[in-house]
Structure 1
């Protein structure tokens, strides 16, 4: 989980590979209307997110027995609660970094529908993991491999 540009897709793929489980990119679950809205620089509201979160929860349910990794912003507690309602066991890794670092990364990213201008709204929306949520914050500094190693350490019992 984390804001756009925090490395969710890159680290998610690396983590899934290391764990030997399937990987899903949450952006691929967005209906076309959501992509059009974000591409136009308009933040999604909770009504926009409902079918998206339900589709992700469905994927999680389908992979509950063997496990899997999904890169998903999951910025609010209620979004994570909706995902947890799938019944699949979950551990949230919050890829955590400063707004300045992530803005710099977004500035160099090509071919993604999420414009840099929405980053501030994502940080305003972000609700860090609470003490009763199963998960950990992982610093995003260094290489994707460094972040993946920290993620694996956070997953260790």
Structure 2
């Protein structure tokens, strides 16, 4: 489990809400997903499942800076054309001791400039019509991708809440 700390190094109490960012990174009608890896010294949730690229918002960052940093760190890809797609504030995560408020962006992959980090064991581009089975997708990311596929069919106002 990730232990959250405040800027003064005090450990955050369970039950707090955290801001996270994730990106639906698109290239040639395919979405980039990372296979979550076990990380020595951390208890990572949903390991060995495919996930959107993202993570926790850092102090002093804007949302755009956070999502660009997370995508670069975890995948090595630069992105542009970011658009806030969904704000997911679903409190129904019984395996977690906190509620994440997740800002999900769409983005276009422009250039891979480095390799993925230790939190990802493999990166893969999936066609939108050939995603991994739902039980192999981490967190609410399958729902995010289903909403994105629906969004491509019918225009709705963004961002999507909930």
TM-score with structure 1 length normalisation? 0.27
The answer to which structure has the higher strand fraction is: 2
- Name the structure where helix makes up a greater proportion of residues: 1
Could you state the TM-score of these two structures normalised by the residue count of structure 2? 0.26
